[in-house]
Each structure stands twice: as structure tokens, then as C-alpha cells.
A and B are shown apart, each in its own frame.
Chain A
């Protein structure tokens, strides 16, 4: 994208910023009064330049960007400051003026491809109305051209399909097509790929890069991923709690972060941390925070070494295809691996690779079609209901969505106590003592006991889920995308906690994730899955340092920021 700067400068007023946000303050009217979401925000986007706003959820990064296109939610307003687009202050511009600007001067690519296309209109229709509203030719050929430029294959036919017939990646391409269809001078891309698999994410971002470079479009990229921001943007603006805490050229900011928050963010960005741990190892620095090496765990040697053995596991689902017929869909195809006691094994793969299906079968929530799962020397399919009950006590899950996996009607005490009550462990007093201990273990204050899930943050909820999983003193914990829904800093804290608990309690983890950066931080062994098959297994170091399969290489290359080399002294800061 750097190249585009020169390209565009000839056309634009030399040296004048395309977008300049000055002293911007945005407040929301809520039932609890005014809430200031953004204060004193400053940023400048030059024509053709890519600027990234980085921050965690609630930092005000999306709100700032939405103000630039006049799309603040109904209860939000610009309380102070200016939004200057091409010399014109549009912070309080009329709706009529904003409609003129939207589409052909300022375009937007929204975050979630699943919810941003209207489900009842064909894709082509949704592109055509954009062209039409901005006074551009909107025949079927024009629509197909816009879609194919965004990298949608077979665009003419695809245009007559509905959004639900598209995959997530294709929908995001359609949204990019819409955002760029009127060749805006500024494109606001709000987490354009955070809902997509890494390899798809990379393709989409590459394509977006190419298009905006060709068109000379300036991009305001909103992301929570510092690695991605650094890789894609010329400049990075870091926001924290509604304020811009630091901004500057991407590499400079990464290598020499000034503000304490930026330093923490750089230190825990998973995409960069994958390099960091490696660097730390090479330097012989003790990685006391993130990875508790399995060798340090003291495990009684009398126990069998391999606590879980998965042998030739397959799962076939029957898909209904009308008229009473069904087709077979092989979700998991002949998968074998084993998990050593006290270690962490990660299963990585993109959505649809069958990794969660494996987890559900290991948890005995789903019956395998063939193959077996041997837990502690016993085939789990032979267990009767009483033995399954005992098995559940020893193997516990932690699920992805900390909002969905806690009962909103149960307070935290009841949530954590429930497994103890179910398994009739202890009396009331001893259970309460146990819950207090568990809260201590996951570093939550004991006062949390009387609170309800909706009063806790995402990270706190996931800690509660971990405490609940630990309540029965299990031997194995299956983490199904357990940190995927969390902000980077919170994610790092939870991973720390998991590593710490492992070294103290000798836990075994089976970690299901799509995020290779997380794997790097937590796992000893990696299983890579693609379309139901196990394509590569090995120790984490081997797989990361010398991947054998093309698919694994593609996955590794797709980690945003993976190619950015940071000096070790910064990386270990």
C-alpha cells in the first residue's frame, strides 16, 4: 500500500489530509446518563494511505470510525471536535450531505459478513442498488464486474444467489465489492476479516490491499489485532478506553512502543507473541509467564503415560437431501493421535475441519461412527451410564462462548457449585469452601460468588467457566476455542492462568483452536486437521519451525504479522 501514496498524490490537493479527526468526543445517552465513549481522539489519513486503529473491544475504535461516516447509533452523538473530510467538517453535517458522501466518497466494509447482507435480497440486487444510489451505471454486466473485481468467481451467476447460499469468505468479498463499487476515496474497513478463517482472511486482505492500491483508496482499518495492523497499515493509532494513547508509523510503533498500554499490547499480541516465545527460547530466557513446560510437571509415574488415545476415529453425518434420501458427510475421517498426561495437545484447523467434532466425541457427547477413544486404558464406548457419570468427573470441557455457556439465571456460586452437587461431593459448607478455593485459583475475588454472569466481563466469565471445569478435580480438560472470543490482553491472562494451573495441578489439556498463534503459546503437541483428516502431527516446535504439509505452511503463513521480525529485546519486553 505504500506505493499508492505517490500514485494518488497527483490527483489530490498536495499535502492536505483526506480525513482529519480533531479533538473528537463522542457520548452516548443511556439510562444511566451520558457515557463518554471517545474523548480527544486525533487521527489523520492522507490520500491513498492506510491507517489502522487498534484497540480492544470497548476502546472506542469502531465508534470513532462510524462517526467519520455519520453512522453513530441513535443514542450516540458527536459531543465535541471535528471530523474533516477533504477540507469539510462533516461532524455535524446534514443527513442529506452524508447521503451524498456515503458510497462514492466514503465507503464501508463492515465486520460481520453473516449479518451485514440483507438475507431477503439477492447479492446482485444489493450491489446494484449501491451503484444506482450513487448515479453509476447499474446493468447486470456492471454488477458482475464489481463482484468479480472483488475476487468472486463466476460473478454473473453468483449475483442471482441469496446471501445464505454464500460462504463467509464469499459474503465478505461481496461486502468488499459493495464498499468499493463506487470507488470511494476513503474506505472504512471495520474488522473486515475477524469473523473468517486465517487463510481466507489472508486472501481477502491481500485482495483488499491490491484493490485499494490500484484505485488509490485511503483505508481506515479497524482491528483488534496488532500484528494485522502492523502488517497492513502505514500508520497505527492505538486507542484505549476512548482515547488515542499512541500513534505513529507501524513498525516504529511496534519496535518502540512508548505508552504502557501499547507496550502491553505488543507484549501479548498473539500473532507477535508466537515469535516472542521462540525468541525467548533462543535467548535462553525463562518464559515464566506463558508456557509452563511439560517437563516441569511432577506426575506420579505409576499412572499410564498416555491418558487419551484416539484410534482411527471417524464420524459420518447423514445430510438430508430431500425425498427421504440422504447423503453422507464425513466430518472426521480416520483420525488417530494420543495425548500424554500433563501435556497440552492442540487440534488446529479452519471451520469445517472437524476439530470440534473430535472434541465432542472425546467428551462422549457424540457417538463415533467407527474407531475408539481410550481414556486411561478404557474404551469410552464400552462405558455404562454409571461409568460415564464417573468419566465426566474426570474429563471436563471449557467452551468458546463465555456468554452462552453460563446459565444467566444462576449466580456464580451456584454455577461453580453445580457439578459438585450433581456428583454429590461434600456437604454444603465444604462445597462453599471449595468454590472459594476455586475462585482464588482463577484469580477472581470471592465477592464474585453472589454476582450473575451478565455483571461480569468476557474474561471474568471465562474464568468462571474454568473454575467450574476445575470443580471436580478433573484430569483432562477439553478447551473448545476457549480463548477465541476474548480480547488479546484478556486472552493472554487466561492462557497464563491455564498454563499456571497445569503446572500446579498436573492437568492435561486438549486444546481445540483455529488460532495458530494461541497454539504456539500453550501447546506441546499439535495436530493439524483439514477437511476431517489429520494432515500433520508433531511437537509444536517441529510443526512451527519445519512444517511438512502445504496446508500447515499455508496456515502458518496466514498468521497476520508472522513475517514481521521484531528485535528480540523489544519482543521480550
Chain B
């Protein structure tokens, strides 16, 4: 494993622990959750192929499921994001393409690109998560409230971390 690989491997556990120890207990207004762990999938190196992404996504989601007692739920949402990620990234390629070896961060591609990249994927993740959990559309508006609340909360934390992390890169 090269250097990036080792860093990502360590980061995997950091994301899981932060999610489980901190953000699992932190729910705003009874409806806004922060599922920060999805940022791990979003920030993996750009050239990583879809197969690897899905495998990592499945393991990540499944690990989170163990702590949330929700077998398969987070795994399902995360695999979906992992599958969609590269296609979405190809669709929004900036002029001149991505620099080789660059990562999907604000530092290398700018805030505007980053928002276009993350917002729909985080929304997708949370929509799947809450609707599958509810297993029905009977609480449609309450579920939408949870999704939008969580989207804002999660996005705020992801973007803050982008500016706080050293050299604005790896996390």
C-alpha cells in the first residue's frame, strides 16, 4: 500500500469513530442529523474506479449499520452514492479536466465546483436513508424535513472541515 492508501485506511477508522462517538449523539431540533462519514467516499481520490468505491462504500456503510442497529440501511445508501460518484464527477468535469493526482476538494477545484459535486450526492444519500428507514411515504413531509435538515447540517460540517483541515486536502 502506498502512502495515500495508508492515510485513507487510517481516515476510514477516524470517520467511523467520529460518526459513532460524536455525531450519533448530536441531533439538532430532533430532525437534523449529521452523517459526516459519507464525506469519506466523496473525498477519495478522483481516479479511483467505481468497483473499488462500491466495495469501500459497502464496508463503510455496513460498519456504521452495526452501531445504528440498522442492518443494510447505511450500506445501501452509501453504495448508491459510491456508484453514482464517478459518473457525476465525469458530468461536471471543469474545463480542461481534472489534474492528475488531484483530489475532490475545495483546495484543488474551488468552492463552486465542490458544492455542485457534493450537494446532490449528499442529498441522494440522505433521501435513500430516511425513506428506506421509514419504509413508506406516510410521513412524507416529516421525512423531507429530516432530509433537508440533515443535508444542511452535514454540508455545513463537510465544508467547515474542508477549510479547517491542514492544507485543505486530505480529510
A and B: partners? no
